[in-house]
Structure 1
Amino acid sequence: MMKSDIIIIGAGPGGYETAIYAARNGLSVTIFENRKPGGTCLNEGCIPTKCFCRNAEILDGIKDSAEYGVNDMAYTFDFGQVIERKNRIVAGLIEGVEFLLKNKLITFVKEAASLIDAHSVRSVSGEIYSCDHLIIATGSVSKNLPIPGNNLPGVLTSKEILDIEKVPENLCVIGAGVIGLEFASVFNSFGSKVTVLEYAKEILPNFDADISKRLKQALGKKGIEIVNSAAVEEIRENADRLSVKYGYKGENREVVADTVLMAVGRAANVESLNLDVAGIVYSSKGIVTDDNMETNISRVYAIGDVNGKCMLAHAATFQGRKVIDHILGKENTIRLDIIPSAVFTRPEAAMVGCTEDECKQQGRVYRSKKAMFRANGKALSMGEPEGICKIIADEDGVIIGCHMLGPHTADIIQEISALINRRTTVDELSSMIHAHPTLSEIVQECAREF
């Protein structure tokens, strides 16, 4: 039996980053992964989709070239090269992760593992490993609507569509969350006619309503049809295409498409872990943990998507860091209630902190102000005036939330995230010098509205 200070099951961002941080602090780690390291984020999520987003940005620039005096441009679009470039970038990053795991304190076992008890596991090959502390970081898997036809050829998940052979003429996306909207935006730029069906009344239900509504309008202007309050009931074969049947306000409707993307969320990956044998409590949302990511079993932790708290790669990374600090008894200042998130549509959407609806539900006293990108010189010079910045402050003027739609807001939101962490007021932000002309001036202009 091999013994280490820590066993980590799963080598996604939460798993491998935690292993590296633990080793830097002198802890021995055994980490298990039966797929390529990097998890969903690197292999079939964040990174490959951002590669697609860059291709979409280039294509949109070419289409708008006449606006910038570049006329009569002719081009061809080789989708095979798009896939090849994506694969090359992902492979390079996987190689980088594998290099980082080549640490004398880290044993990387390229197999799956299941629990024997709370502090020992068995690999697929039958080897037994034990530890003082166990961290489960197995991530999540794509959900699938339990409807007839959900497994027909041409019905894809976010993993499979990344390796599709050609751009579909008609794409139907089921689900208007982050994943669904990013692919809808990308394939719209690639030339697909895109229809999005969403059961909820609004897109991006976790985002501020002002941002969701404006993003829906912006995507509509690009030709993406988004149908809210759409209850998808069945997918049928229709000659060589697919027919998606759905109900809408008492009517029976359908969308005919070459490809259907099932983007209805993700579920904690707890299958095959054998959690019951260790007595670990879990639900349909994931493994239950406390604020230190510790389960009901002492010295057993769950981080990342598998605990269902926040399904973002950077959340998993910092949850893992919090676990290691807890194990070491180190002081930790990580604010897991302040996690920025972004949607890489065109235009981008980003948020951090409280939404206005959350403030109302909590009975919290707040003020909110807005500033528009159409008054930002850099945005106008870029030809991207579509967008808004909305800041929410408490009764003392302390910033508690920010919600943005517009160019590069995924990058700009980090400034507000840092300021919220330091309990900065809108008055303080309004007096902080920003370079001109920059997109980030939008947050200062918004603060000055208070």
Structure 2
Amino acid sequence: MEDLLIIGAGPGGYETAVEAAKRGMKVTIINDGTLGGVCLNEGCIPTKTFCHFAGKEDFAAVAARKEAVVNQLRNGVAYLLKNPNITIVGGKASFKDDKTVVVNGEVYTAKDIIIATGSKPAILLIPGADSEIVLTSTDVLNLKELPESICVIGGGVIGLEMASYLHRFGVEVTVLEYAPQVLPNFDAEVSKRLKMLLTKQGIKIETDAQVTAIDEEGFVTYKKKDQEYNVECDKVLMAVGRTPNTSDLNLEAAGIAYNRKGIEVDDNMQTSVPRIYAIGDVNGKMMLAHVATFQGTRALNHIQGKNDKIKFNLIPAAVFTIPEVASVGLTEAQCDDEELDYKSVKVPFGAVGKAVAMGEPDGFCKLIIDNETRIMLGCHIMGAHASDLIQEVVTMMNLGVTIDDAKDIIHAHPTLNEIIQIVVHQAE
């Protein structure tokens, strides 16, 4: 019997396996498909390759580059898993009971089990959703040639990132978002400004738009304020979120509780069966690769009786549009809902010398500060390299740095990071 059985080799699965092996545990990792999971093969990495090079190289060149990048990183994962304490089994896992998993007719058991099977694209249940013109995010990343026009259903992270880079390749893009704002879970001011800038670039965006049908001839029908409209397009991207991969696991046989949002877990990622854990997209808590990795660490620590200081309420999120968006902590709306005594301070990128010199002055940095404790409750950035800049604030928030402490931190000049220094000094 192995110490640990992990189902799934995405970021949560393979990084947890590597860490467990370092701690001297014997690990079997079961994977159906290629190593690296959704993030590496059909999510984060290929998308960001397209986001970075769109408009700089032609589509065929970027598509080839994407394949090279994915292959290189996939080989890197295989190298990390070459450990005498790790055994890789290819195939689809299914629970026989709460102690046994069956793969290719073979039975596997372990002292503890971690489920890390990830997610798949969600599909809106409307007429025409199964039409040949409808693509998932995976399909779009594997296109050999681009359509002249596309209608993106969903203005969340996936929808906006793909809309942004497809537009830079010359595709005519229309985005339809059901909620009142794009990026519904982000700061409202960030969402409003991003919509304005993407529209200025030439992307058509409609919010409060309920898609009701897709016609195979290339018409997407939606309702807005009791009026019905149509969008004509060559292809449709279904970007309405992702759904956990639970259907083939036979969770009922193990007595594992789950619902449509994913496998139910506690703060230690433990399921309703004490020896079985679920991490990453499959538990539906927050579908981000870096979250899966740290949830794996939390599960592993719980198995070994160790404590950690991981703060799952301080998770940075980034959107790789142009300009980028990044966020951590509470939004103003959430502060209002919790009736917190706070203030927000905002500085435009136009106040940063390097941003102006780079020709990228669009955007701003907003800090939300608790009036009594002076700690930072949240940070929301829209602008050049926002995904990198947010990490400084994430670190300060993790350490409980007050706004007054932060004023004594020296930043190099000229750098984009100075926007953090400027906004901190603007706070009274």
Match of 1:406 among 383, 390, 395: 383
Matched, 1:51 2:49: yes
- 1:321 and 1:307 map into 2 onto residues whose CA distance is 15
Q: Tell me the amino acid that sits aligned with residue 443 of structure 1.
A: I
Matched, 1:220 2:199: yes
Q: Find the counterpart in structure 2 of residue 285 from structure 1.
A: 261
Q: Does the CA-based 8 Å contact 2:115-2:279 persist in structure 1?
A: yes
Q: Deviating runs (4+, > 2 A) in structure 1? A: none
Match of 1:112 among 72, 92, 113: 92
Residue correspondence of structure 1 range 294-373 to structure 2 within 5 A: 294-373=270-349
Q: Does the CA-based 8 Å contact 2:8-2:31 persist in structure 1?
A: yes
Q: Tell me the amino acid that sits aligned with residue 9 of structure 1.
A: I
Q: Does the CA-based 8 Å contact 2:150-2:237 persist in structure 1?
A: yes
1:326 Cα deviation from its structure 2 partner: 1.1
Q: TM-score, normalised by structure 1?
A: 0.93
1:231 Cα deviation from its structure 2 partner: 0.7
Describe the superposition over 1:162-212 as per-residue Cα deviations: whole angstroms up to 9, x where unpaired. 111212211110000000000000011110111000010001011011110
- 1:440 and 1:428 map into 2 onto residues whose CA distance is 17
Describe the superposition over 1:212-234 as per-residue Cα deviations: whole angstroms up to 9, x where unpaired. 01100110110011100111011
Q: Does the CA-based 8 Å contact 2:190-2:381 persist in structure 1?
A: yes
Matched, 1:206 2:211: no
Match of 1:146 among 125, 134, 155: 125
Q: TM-score, normalised by structure 2?
A: 0.98
Matched, 1:90 2:70: yes
Q: Does the CA-based 8 Å contact 2:280-2:288 persist in structure 1?
A: yes
Q: Does the CA-based 8 Å contact 2:151-2:176 persist in structure 1?
A: yes
Identical-pair percentage = 52
Residue correspondence of structure 1 range 21-60 to structure 2 within 5 A: 21-56=19-54, 58=56
Matched, 1:259 2:257: no
- 1:414 and 1:320 map into 2 onto residues whose CA distance is 21
- 1:418 and 1:270 map into 2 onto residues whose CA distance is 34
Q: Find the counterpart in structure 1 of residue 352 from structure 2.
A: 376
- 1:304 and 1:169 map into 2 onto residues whose CA distance is 36
- 2:129 and 2:359 map into 1 onto residues whose CA distance is 41
1:251 Cα deviation from its structure 2 partner: 1.1
Q: Tell me the amino acid that sits aligned with residue 150 of structure 2.
A: L
Alignment root-mean-square deviation, CA: 0.9
Describe the superposition over 1:92-139 as per-residue Cα deviations: whole angstroms up to 9, x where unpaired. 11111011111111110011111111121000x211010110100001
1:237 Cα deviation from its structure 2 partner: 2.2
Secondary structure of the corresponding residue to residue 194 of structure 1: strand
Residue correspondence of structure 1 range 154-233 to structure 2 within 5 A: 154-233=133-212
Describe the superposition over 1:25-68 as per-residue Cα deviations: whole angstroms up to 9, x where unpaired. 01111111110011110000000001101112626xxxxxxxxx
Count of matched residue pairs: 426
- 2:60 and 2:368 map into 1 onto residues whose CA distance is 45
1:334 Cα deviation from its structure 2 partner: 1.0
- 2:381 and 2:125 map into 1 onto residues whose CA distance is 34
**Bigger Cα displacement from structure 2, 359-368 vs 172-181:** 359-368
- 1:120 and 1:26 map into 2 onto residues whose CA distance is 22
Q: Find the counterpart in structure 1 of residue 226 from structure 2.
A: 250
Q: Does the CA-based 8 Å contact 2:55-2:169 persist in structure 1?
A: no
Q: Tell me the amino acid that sits aligned with residue 224 of structure 2.
A: Y
1:81 Cα deviation from its structure 2 partner: 2.0
Q: Find the counterpart in structure 2 of residue 69 from structure 1.
A: none
Matched, 1:390 2:366: yes
1:308 Cα deviation from its structure 2 partner: 0.7
Matched, 1:126 2:105: yes
Q: Does the CA-based 8 Å contact 2:316-2:391 persist in structure 1?
A: yes
**Bigger Cα displacement from structure 2, 133-142 vs 392-401:** 392-401
Gapped regions of structure 1 (runs ≥ 5): 60-76
- 1:57 and 1:276 map into 2 onto residues whose CA distance is 49
Matched, 1:426 2:403: yes
- 2:202 and 2:358 map into 1 onto residues whose CA distance is 21
Q: Does the CA-based 8 Å contact 2:133-2:216 persist in structure 1?
A: no
1:325 Cα deviation from its structure 2 partner: 1.1
Q: Does the CA-based 8 Å contact 2:8-2:30 persist in structure 1?
A: yes
Q: Does the CA-based 8 Å contact 1:118-1:134 persist in structure 2?
A: no
Match of 1:273 among 249, 256, 262: 249
Q: Does the CA-based 8 Å contact 2:174-2:204 persist in structure 1?
A: yes
Distance verdict in 2 for CA 1:327–1:355, change over 3 Å: same
- 1:358 and 1:57 map into 2 onto residues whose CA distance is 37
Describe the superposition over 1:9-31 as per-residue Cα deviations: whole angstroms up to 9, x where unpaired. 00000000000010000111111
Q: Find the counterpart in structure 2 of residue 12 from structure 1.
A: 10
- 2:129 and 2:62 map into 1 onto residues whose CA distance is 27
Q: Does the CA-based 8 Å contact 1:6-1:28 persist in structure 2?
A: yes
